[in-house]
Amino acid sequence: MPSRFTLFNDPVHGFIAVPKGLVLSLVEQPEVQRLRRIRQLGLGFLVFPGAVHTRFEHGIGAMALMQDALDTLREKGTVMDTDEVGGALAAALLHDVGHGPFSHTLEHELLPPGPSGRRHHHERMSRALMARLDARLGGALRTALAIFDGAYPRPFFHSLLASQLDMDRLDYLRRDSFYTGVAEGVVGVDRVIKTMRVHPAPGGGRGGAAGAQTAGAGRIVIEAKGAYAVENVLLSRRLMYGQVYLHKTVIAADHVLRAAVGRARERWGTDPALAETAPPFAFFLAGRATADDLDPASDLHGPLLDAFAALDDTDVLYSLKRWAGSADRVLADLARRFVDRDLFRTTPLDAPPPDADVEAWRDRAAAWLVAEGISTPATARDDARYYVAVGRERLAAYDADRDPVCILERDGRVRELTESTGVLAPGALGGARERDYVCLPKALDLVG
């Protein structure tokens, strides 16, 4: 008898069985294959050499964990039909299909706000590409789209896809830890999934009694024996943000790349080197589209999706190598810095810097640019904006108000995680930590 699955050998989860039919046909679509050329950790590979894993394997991993979670819920009495299972697996596979080159790094640079003022987020692009795939496949993604939108009448499916304890997070924490070698991201994924169940009480409110599983609406709860594993996931995420996702050198690399893209957009049409930009990337730098054009009613909606579906890390890297030969010394310097990993320095600050400090830093940067022959005295003050960046990063472990994780206690009552008797350090879970910083060329050493 022919197999109903195709096996993928994943170094994180082992052999992953991808169901033939809808899910495997999605894996084979060019929009999904493109994710092989999008690095999962953006510019993290410039700090952690092994972090060259991609959004493709993350999508496969999230789909595999979704399959494990659905199997667990069915074993515990939650009834699902074939269409629901297929829709949930498809949604997990495609949830990040809208990521652009280097994942989050250029998310807001590619599509500037339009007349509505709305900023671009990759979830909207994922939704648009899923709708295009749905049309191509004759409506096969109807259920997946409803789950992705949070509009499906059984909300626990959406919780498995997008929550503080979803399959996306469970995969990326484990995967990013594996490829970076940062042990703090190692989490008990299997333990968390095996202790999930659907609680039938509307909203899964506090103090509710657990009843029999039904085929109707309900929400995901964690059995008491999984509370420690959940706590570990939330704390590990906070540690991974501090050590990996918001690493000071990653922040510096992000700034250099964004500065180069900003300069290229400003100089578009005036610099011969920009004519050698990779065509899919050129579409976005030429200012042809804004975030508003993701609206299907926009005349640019189709061309925008075509260009985005053709755009990946390779186009950006190729373009930067061409820009390094630009006659514009600022663009050439920024492009060279990125290609050669000659990055800026990120320095933490105790508080947001006053405007006077920022202006002083820009004055010193302008003088340095003139001394280096990168800018002229007439342009240096304006050029300095590409070399001085002030920002704030935010690290949070768990937000009980936005999306509470609920624990099903042994006495049958449901309590929010920080109120559960099974949590060791509830105080460490809540709250957010903010950190200001300044990012500058190393030669300036502008601290103090």
pLDDT tens-digit profile of 204-217? Answer: 343 333 333 444 56
Among 170, 165, 164, residue whose Cα is nearest residue 188 = 170
Last residue of a domain, one of 294, 313, 341: 341
Tell me, what's the pLDDT at 433? 81
Rounded (10°) angle between helices 313-323 and 248-267:
70
Indicate if 163 and 115 belong to the same structural domain.
yes
Q: Is residue 268 part of a domain?
A: yes
- Residue ending a domain, among 188, 213, 236, is 236
- The pLDDT assigned to 254 comes to 97
pLDDT value of residue 427? 65
336 and 353 belong to one structural domain: no
**Is 75 found in the same domain as 173?**
yes
Decide which of 181, 213, 236 is a domain's last residue: 236
Q: What pLDDT was estimated at residue 213?
A: 40
Residue 421 domain-assigned (yes or no): no
Does 376 share its domain with 301? no
- 335 and 353 within one domain: no
Decide if pLDDT at 84 tops 90.
yes
The reply to whether 110 and 257 lie within a common domain is: no
Please state, in angstroms and rounded to a whole number, the distance separating the CA atoms of residues 57 and 70: 20
Per-residue pLDDT for 432 more than 80?
no
Residue 230 pLDDT level (bands cut at 50, 70, 90): very high
Count how many domains the chain has.
3
Shared domain check, 228 and 84? yes
Q: Which residues form the domain of 307?
A: 247-341
Q: Specify the pLDDT at position 34.
A: 98
- Determine the pLDDT at residue 32: 98
228 and 318 inside one domain: no
386 lies in some domain: yes
**Average pLDDT in the chain:** 92
Domain membership flag for residue 411: no
Q: Do 337 and 350 sit in the same domain of this protein?
A: no
What confidence score (pLDDT) does residue 211 get?
38
288 vs 390, residue with greater confidence: 390
The whole-number pLDDT of residue 189 equals 94
The strand pair at 406-408 and 389-396 is best described as unpaired
- Domain assignment of residue 84, yes or no: yes
Give the confidence band of 287 by pLDDT, cuts at 50, 70, 90: confident
**In terms of domains, do 219 and 276 share one?**
no
Task: Note the pLDDT of residue 206.
Answer: 38
Q: How far is Cα 320 from Cα 68, in angstroms, rounded to an integer? A: 42
Question: Quick one: 163 and 295 in the same domain?
Answer: no
Q: What is the pLDDT of residue 214?
A: 41
Give the CB-side neighbour count of residue 135, counting CA atoms within 13 A.
Answer: 7
Burial grade of 15 (CB within 10 A; 0-12, 13-18, 19 or more) = exposed
Q: Does the reported pTM lie above 0.85?
A: yes
What integer pLDDT is reported at residue 1 of this predicted model?
56
Quick one: pLDDT at residue 217? 66
The answer to whether position 410 is within a domain reads no
Does the residue 199 lie in any domain?
yes
pLDDT value for 422: 67
Verify that 190 and 65 share a domain, yes or no.
yes
Backbone dihedral angles phi then psi of residue 60, each to the nearest 5 degrees = -65, -40
Domain of residue 52, CATH code:
1.10.3210.10
CATH code for position 294? 1.20.1250.30
User: What does the alpha-carbon distance between residue 55 and residue 171 come to, in Å, rounded to a whole number?
Assistant: 11
Does residue 121 lie within any of the structural domains? yes
* Torsion sign (Cα): 370, 374, 379, 382: negative
Are the C-beta atoms of 26 and 93 separated by less than 8 Å?
Answer: yes
Would you place residue 448 in the very low, low, confident or very high pLDDT band (cuts 50, 70, 90)? very low
